[in-house]
Amino acid sequence: MEREIPLPLRLELFSCVRRIAEHFLDSPSDQLRGLVNLLSSDVARVVTAVITERNCNLAGDAAMPSEVWCAIWQHLPFASRITVSHVCTSWRKTALACPLLWNDIKVTFWRREACYVGNAIGPDLATLGILLGRAAPAPTRLNIRIEKFDWHPRAGAFFHELLCTHALQIVYLRFSARGQAGGAAPMRDVLPLMHGLQHLRLSTTDFDLRIESFIRPGSRFACLRVLELDGIFFEEAASPDMFPHVEEVLIIVTQCPLTPVAVENMFRSCPKTTKLTAYLLAGWWNDHPPDALGLHTMTPCVASLRLHTLKLGIFSPGELYISRVLHFFQHERIPCLSVIFGYNSSHDALSIFSDLEKPDTLVFRARAGAKAIDSRGFSRQVLWDYGMPKEEAETLLARFAPSLTTLIADAQLFIRFSSPLSTPRLKSIVLRLLDASELPATTHPKVFQDLPAFRTLCLQLVDSCGLPRIANGRHRVDVAAVQALIEALPRRVEVLQLAQIKFKKQADRSPLELLRSRVGSVEAVSCDAEEHRLVVDVGGQMEQWGA
């Protein structure tokens, strides 16, 4: 493993160390932390640039292997915050991923030779030992994926010993095993030793694999807060002391329908669950007759829970099936409910919103779905894999129009609304633009004929995922389109908010000067994915920002 650091990398590192050291000699000692962080960031940037450039020019087996990277990593100065992503033989095909400034190790064992060759431990398994040793004693995120192959007994013993040695430093573990992978057996003895584990995800493709296959009865995970199970279920209720503080649970079932008994056993094992995500890829099984649906599916165990958030993925059609799932979880008492419908499974999807009390906020995503929030803070969200149908959107808008105070919608969906509505309480409209070219189409909003309470119009530039987009040259907005939209509204805009919006340059007047003459005030705001808005700049600084 002893390799010489490449000369270009060595020169860059020495230059970086020398530059930081010169500043450090004249700096007080309390600035040491900031300097170390700066040095670590510079080292990470240099290492990433050098390796990326080399691997872009060299393909296949000529790309830098993991052994060379480990040797370089061990010699880096002040590099305690630099870590590695994707440690596996696929490096030779896809090159190196950018290092992360956290102890984050991802390992994939593709074949038997990666773990055991001849009479020696394989290169990838040995590399995992080096990386865990280098990360110690800092908290470590470990992601292990094992493909389906015969695991050599000596490799299994080494893997078990390695995880036992570093069990205390692992705070996040994601373990995935395909088929009857031999690496799954050591986890049953190792998991109880991870006393600092906060996030655990177990994934397998085995049919009907029980949680007891991974965790011994009587184990206790005092620090665990998040438990994710993919293809694993609770056949029997474990001791409540096993997961005493777990707050978030994720269940994915793909091979067989999820049963109420398995859910109850999970709740008894995780009594403090407040957030549950369940993807019912194989459906929901309940042997109660339809006429007993409202009584026998509500169990004392579920009633005693204080679920705050429930997210369901429903991918099988059937009104009765969907109703049984919602009745079982007593959805009307859960503050935050989100349902994802697969293709042809959204029978009466809008019934999810029926228990809201006069919603005042409505959010539309053209390629996703809708979300409504009422005055109590209760929220209901419906998502479609294939996009939200126009008829569903118009029906929902018409149903909640009398009580709405805020409407947030993607522009491409907003322009499809055609039926005029009465919105006496609507105060704010937020239009999210995927591209500046969508704005001219919104200048004739047929849906609003009267807005007596309207005050604020917000324009936000987002990407296809609904996240804020950087307004580069291609996404600059024509100020004339904004003026046309303002004039088309039946009531004067008092506050115009611009999020990630930049205008095309005008030859005669500033775009902001043109807008200020038509609205009460112009504000620059910063919007995140959850629609929270924060005013960051008003007035004088807007000129440079909006130019």
> What is each CA distance from 276 to 19, 230, 529, in whole angstroms?
50, 13, 21
Q: What is the pLDDT of residue 275?
A: 94
Cα separation, 540 vs 486, in Å, equals 22
Cα separation, 217 vs 238, in Å, equals 7
Cα separation, 230 vs 313, in Å, equals 13
DSSP labels, 30-94: GGHHHHHHHHHHHHHHHHHHHHHHHHHHS-GGGSPPHHHHHHHHHH-TT-TT---S-EETTHHHH
Minimal CA–CA distance to 492: which of 517, 467, 529, 528?
517
Minimal CA–CA distance to 191: which of 167, 165, 210, 171?
167
Minimal CA–CA distance to 69: which of 339, 60, 54, 152?
54
**How buried is 74 (Cβ within 10 angstroms: 0-12 exposed, 13-18 middle, 19+ buried)?**
middle
346 CA to centre of own chain: 24
Please report, as a single letter, which amino acid is at residue 53. E
Structure token pair of residue 13: 């590192």
Residues 6+ apart with CB under 8 A from 306: 274
Cα separation, 315 vs 340, in Å, equals 8
What's the whole-model pTM score?
0.74
Cα separation, 353 vs 396, in Å, equals 9
Cα three-residue angle 182-263-227, rounded to 5 degrees: 50
As a whole number of Å, the end-to-end CA separation of the chain is 55
Does the N-terminal peptide bond of residue 137 adopt cis geometry, omega within 30 degrees of 0? yes
Residues in the chain: 547
Task: Give the HSE-up count for residue 58: Cα atoms under 13 Å, Cβ half-sphere.
Answer: 15
Cα separation, 304 vs 20, in Å, equals 58
Cα separation, 211 vs 233, in Å, equals 6
Cα separation, 188 vs 434, in Å, equals 48
Cα separation, 245 vs 241, in Å, equals 9
**pLDDT per position as a tens digit, 130-166:** 778 877 777 888 888 887 666 777 877 888 888 899 9
Return the DSSP state at 529: T
**How buried is 512 (Cβ within 10 angstroms: 0-12 exposed, 13-18 middle, 19+ buried)?**
buried
Cα separation, 542 vs 547, in Å, equals 8
**How buried is 478 (Cβ within 10 angstroms: 0-12 exposed, 13-18 middle, 19+ buried)?**
middle
Structure token pair of residue 245: 């503080």
Minimal CA–CA distance to 511: which of 545, 537, 488, 535?
545
Cα separation, 369 vs 340, in Å, equals 9
Structure token pair of residue 349: 């999807």
Cα separation, 95 vs 59, in Å, equals 8
Cα separation, 407 vs 401, in Å, equals 9
Which residues of the chain fall below pLDDT 70?
Answer: 1-102, 110-120, 148-150, 179-184, 206-208, 237-238, 286-301, 316-321, 343-347, 416, 418-419, 441-449, 464-466, 468, 470-474, 506-509, 526-547
Q: What is the pLDDT of residue 542?
A: 34
Q: What is the pLDDT of residue 92?
A: 34
Q: What is the pLDDT of residue 431?
A: 86
Q: What is the pLDDT of residue 200?
A: 94
Structure token pair of residue 311: 């997210």
Q: What is the pLDDT of residue 365?
A: 81
Cα separation, 337 vs 312, in Å, equals 8
Minimal CA–CA distance to 62: which of 70, 54, 52?
54
Cα separation, 426 vs 405, in Å, equals 4
